[in-house]
Structure 1
Amino acid sequence: MIGILGIELRRSAALPIGAATAAIGVAGLYVLALTGQTGLWDQQWNLLAVFQRIMLVVLWPLALAAGAWQAGRDRRSRMTELLGTTPAPGWRRLRPSALATALSLAAGYLIVLGAGAPRVAAAAGHPGSGWPAVTAVGVLALATAGMLGLGVGRLLPYAYTPAVLGVGSLAGLLAAIEATKLDDATKPGLALLLPYFTSTISEFQAVSGTVSAGQAWWFGGLAIGGLVLFLATGRLARALAVVPPALGLALAAPLLSGTAFPVDPAAVAEVCTADAGPRVCVTAAHRRQLPALVAPSREALRLLAKLPNAPASVHEAPPGTGRPQPASEAWLDSDNLGATDDPAELTARILAGAGTPLCARGDGDHLAVLRARAVTAAWLHGSHPVPGQTVGPAEQAIRDTMWKKLVALPAAEQQRRVAAVRAAGLACGDQAAALGVGAGR
């Protein structure tokens, strides 16, 4: 069997199929470098594993068409009748072809993972949870496409079958993206039956283990069904090819109904400074950024000391944790943590809203809140505008007017209003109304 498999790998289209998979996948990773978007996958192993799964929207149709092409080689070589006269069962002759196709697709997928690994290893602060299972399911999903292609290609051994399968499946997967856009991102439901994920995740999320298990049952059933269709010789055996996918779907359905992308507790756990200075904390996912945050954070705490009951520590505030902000802490949004390498701008970002993150509110003027947060940061910083602030001339004129109104007030009133902005931020209140110097406020 090993010798036959080696011949199959050398002389069939299996190795070119795997090479094409690897080439397209690696290109999909690194083409984002041209636009500076490698942060979509290179910050954590979970992100890389999920991004690879997203690329299956292209790789899956390719594998499906390649499997159908592989299945039609006997017909193209005009050897169907000759091989039919051999005494060996047909399934024994076809089995190495199926194995070679699956192994080549799996190797191509893993080469893509290996190509992204150096960047992830250099940047990841926390490895993430569950990414090996996500990768394993991706390998299985891609091999499943190959098996289905082999089965359909043998059932419909026509020259146009690979092209129809490839183009048709790509169109179907793209249509599925549009159909699932309005679904709850945390509970994709039926979208989890697709070979790819329809959205990225953050570095604070993981793919649920139950989701990976459910998808493994589903794609495993599909793969076995495709293999049965490829190896079967009689009508009854081919009809039985629907049984494994049906069983896989029945086992998978209960596992795919929960939250697909929960918050990873290990990723949001705090990592803090241990020296004698004021404490500065980031999430485990961003632990590599802690040294660069220490000096800007302590400068922000020094400036926040102008307020009564000033905070004594700085903490990164990841989204979705639901933890209320204590009055003794200044918080920095995770998005702001990696937005700049300038220490002065980092300090200004901590000072926005007097050390409170932007709160999503269903009412009020969002732009007015942003203006109030910027002017508050300028008052604490002692200069307007603060470092790193870039807005259009019209917007800057509005903020200049607000700044002038604020500093024209008595010093005690200025302090009271800035403290009110912080109090509103701690309670997710209206910070623009608390500052009270905007138009119409």
Structure 2
Amino acid sequence: MTGIFKIELSRSGALLAGTATAVIGVAGLYVPALTGQTGLWDQQWTLLAVFQRIMLVVLWPLALAAGAWQAGRERRSRVEELLGTTPAPGWRRLRPSALATAFSLAAGYLLVLAAGAPKVATAAGYPGHGWYAVTAVGVLALAAAGLLGLGIGRLLPYAYTPAVLGVGSLAGLLAAIEATKLEDATKPGAALLLPYFTSTISEFQAVDGAVSAGQAWWLGGLAAGGLVLFLATNRLVRLLAVVPPALGLVLAAPMLTVAAFPVDPAAVAEVCTDDGGPRVCVTAAHSRRLPALVAPARQALRLLGGLPNAPTSVHEAVPDLGRRQPTAEAWLDSDNLIATDDAAELTARILAGAGTPLCVREGDHRDSAGDHLDVLRARAVTAAWLAGSHPVPGPTVAPAEQAHRDTMWKALLALPADEQQRRVAAVRTAGLTCGDQAAALGLGAGR
């Protein structure tokens, strides 16, 4: 069997299909590097595993077409009738081809993982939860596509079958993306039956184990059905090929109602300094960023120290956890933490809103753009007052917007010193309760 398997790898198209999978997959990983977007996958093993699954929207149709092409090899070589006269059972003769196809596609998928591994290993502070199951299901999905392609290619051994399968399945998967856009992102429902994920997740989420298990049942059923269809030698056995996918679907059905991408408690757990100085904490998912945050965070605490009830520690704020900010803590939201490595800019981002993260309030949809801009202005001017200079380090804004902030800055400095402090403290108080920070500052917001 080993010798036959090696011959299949060297003489069939299976190895070429696996190579194409690896090349396209690696390109899909590193093309985002051209625009600095590798953060979509290089911060955590779970993110890499999910990003690979997203790329199956292209790789799955490729594997399906490759399997159908492989199935038509005997007909293209005009040896189908000759091989049919051999005394060995047909399934035994076809088995190495199925094994070579599944193995090559699986190996190609794992090579993509290996290509991303060095970058993840140097950036990830927390590996993530369940990423190995997500990867294993991805391997199974690609192998299932190859085996299903083999089965359909043998059932419909025409020259155009591979092309129709490849193009048709790609079109179908792309259409499915549009059809599932309106679904709840945390409970995708029927979208979980697709071989790929329709969206990325954050570094604070995991893929629920029930989802991976259900997808394994469903994709395993597809793989078994394709294999039966490929190896079957009579019509009755071919009819039985629908049984494994149907059984897999029944077993997978419970996963359709679960919250697919829950918050990972281990990822949001805090990792803090213990050197005796003011406490600085980040999430486990961003633990590699703690050393670079310590000095900027403590500088921010020093500058905030003149406010009433000044904070004594800095913590990374994770969105949507529903935890209220204590008065004794200054919060830096996760997006700001990972946005820069510059110490002065990190300090400025903590000072924005006087140590409170940006909050979207209920009712702001009435004039969402204007409200949001007013709040950003108030937060920027507050940071400048605390830092003692305007503007603070950070992203540049349009000249007209900068002029508006300059006017607010001058208006704040024109007030008596105690009133300036009172208004900045009011901005912090409003931020602690997700209140209106622009109204609390009361300068140029039109409120």
Scaled by the length of structure 2, the TM-score of the pair is 0.97
Q: How much does 1:274 deviate?
A: 0.8
- Partner AA of 2:31 in structure 1: V
Please list the CA deviations of residues 11-54 of structure 1 after superposition, one character each: whole Å capped at 9, or x if unmatched: 11111111111111111111121111111111110010001001
DSSP 3-state at the match of 1:99: helix
Q: Which residue of 2 aligns with 1:372?
A: 378
Query: 2:47–2:200: 8 Å Cα contact kept in structure 1?
Result: yes
Query: 1:271–1:287: 8 Å Cα contact kept in structure 2?
Result: yes
Q: How much does 1:256 deviate?
A: 2.7
Q: Which residue of 1 aligns with 2:287?
A: 287
Gapped regions of structure 2 (runs ≥ 5)? 365-370
Query: 2:439–2:445: 8 Å Cα contact kept in structure 1?
Result: no
1:390 to 379, 390, 396: 396
DSSP 3-state at the match of 1:271: strand
Q: How much does 1:378 deviate?
A: 0.9
DSSP 3-state at the match of 1:372: helix
Distance 1:21 1:74 in 2: 24
Q: Which residue of 1 aligns with 2:105?
A: 105
- Partner AA of 2:372 in structure 1: H
State yes or no: 1:43 paired with 2:43. Answer: yes
Q: Which residue of 1 aligns with 2:224?
A: 224
Distance 1:278 1:344 in 2: 18
DSSP 3-state at the match of 1:388: coil
Distance 1:347 1:25 in 2: 39
State yes or no: 1:270 paired with 2:274. Answer: no
- Partner AA of 2:279 in structure 1: R
- Partner AA of 2:398 in structure 1: G
Q: Which residue of 1 aligns with 2:168?
A: 168
Distance 1:228 1:367 in 2: 61
Query: 1:64–1:148: 8 Å Cα contact kept in structure 2?
Result: yes
Please list the CA deviations of residues 57-106 of structure 1 after superposition, one character each: whole Å capped at 9, or x if unmatched: 11000000000000000000101111111111111111111011001111
Q: How much does 1:10 deviate?
A: 1.5
Scaled by the length of structure 1, the TM-score of the pair is 0.99
State yes or no: 1:88 paired with 2:88. Answer: yes
Distance 1:389 1:133 in 2: 39
Q: Which residue of 1 aligns with 2:147?
A: 147
State yes or no: 1:338 paired with 2:338. Answer: yes
Distance 2:331 2:15 in 1: 52
- Partner AA of 1:211 in structure 2: V
Q: Which residue of 1 aligns with 2:407?
A: 401
RMSD over aligned Cα, in angstroms?
0.9
Gapped regions of structure 1 (runs ≥ 5)? none
Q: Which residue of 2 aligns with 1:129?
A: 129
Deviates more, 1:370-379 or 1:400-409: 400-409
Q: Which residue of 2 aligns with 1:79?
A: 79
Please list the CA deviations of residues 187-212 of structure 1 after superposition, one character each: whole Å capped at 9, or x if unmatched: 11111111110101111111110100
Distance 2:394 2:24 in 1: 39
Alignment of structure 1 residues 313-332 onto 2, 5 Å: 313-332=313-332
DSSP 3-state at the match of 2:321: coil
Deviates more, 1:413-422 or 1:158-167: 413-422
Distance 1:387 1:20 in 2: 46
Distance 1:61 1:308 in 2: 62
Query: 1:138–1:195: 8 Å Cα contact kept in structure 2?
Result: yes
Distance 2:241 2:89 in 1: 19
Query: 1:128–1:206: 8 Å Cα contact kept in structure 2?
Result: yes
Distance 2:253 2:295 in 1: 51
Please list the CA deviations of residues 321-377 of structure 1 after superposition, one character each: whole Å capped at 9, or x if unmatched: 221111000000100011112111110000000000011123241111111111111
Query: 1:263–1:320: 8 Å Cα contact kept in structure 2?
Result: no
Residue identity over aligned pairs, in percent, reads: 84
Q: Which residue of 2 aligns with 1:259?
A: 259
Query: 2:438–2:445: 8 Å Cα contact kept in structure 1?
Result: no
DSSP 3-state at the match of 1:338: helix
Q: How much does 1:388 deviate?
A: 1.7
- Partner AA of 1:323 in structure 2: R
Distance 2:255 2:179 in 1: 22
Q: How much does 1:389 deviate?
A: 4.3
Deviates more, 1:364-373 or 1:124-133: 364-373
DSSP 3-state at the match of 2:233: coil
Distance 1:393 1:182 in 2: 38
DSSP 3-state at the match of 1:39: helix
Please list the CA deviations of residues 213-239 of structure 1 after superposition, one character each: whole Å capped at 9, or x if unmatched: 000000000110111111112111111
DSSP 3-state at the match of 2:403: helix
Distance 1:11 1:232 in 2: 23
State yes or no: 1:431 paired with 2:402. Answer: no
Distance 2:98 2:392 in 1: 63
Deviates more, 1:340-349 or 1:128-137: 340-349
Query: 1:210–1:256: 8 Å Cα contact kept in structure 2?
Result: no
Q: Which runs of 4+ in 1 moved over 6 A?
A: none
Distance 1:98 1:439 in 2: 68
Distance 1:388 1:134 in 2: 37
Distance 1:431 1:36 in 2: 32
Q: Which residue of 2 aligns with 1:303?
A: 303
DSSP 3-state at the match of 1:438: coil
Q: Which residue of 1 aligns with 2:193?
A: 193
Structure 1 residues 40 and 235: alpha-carbon distance in aligned structure 2, compared to 1, 3 A threshold: same
- Partner AA of 1:74 in structure 2: E
Q: Which residue of 1 aligns with 2:368?
A: none
Structure 1 residues 70 and 399: alpha-carbon distance in aligned structure 2, compared to 1, 3 A threshold: same
Distance 2:319 2:46 in 1: 17
Deviates more, 1:102-111 or 1:3-12: 3-12
Query: 1:280–1:314: 8 Å Cα contact kept in structure 2?
Result: yes
Distance 2:82 2:260 in 1: 51
Query: 2:65–2:165: 8 Å Cα contact kept in structure 1?
Result: yes
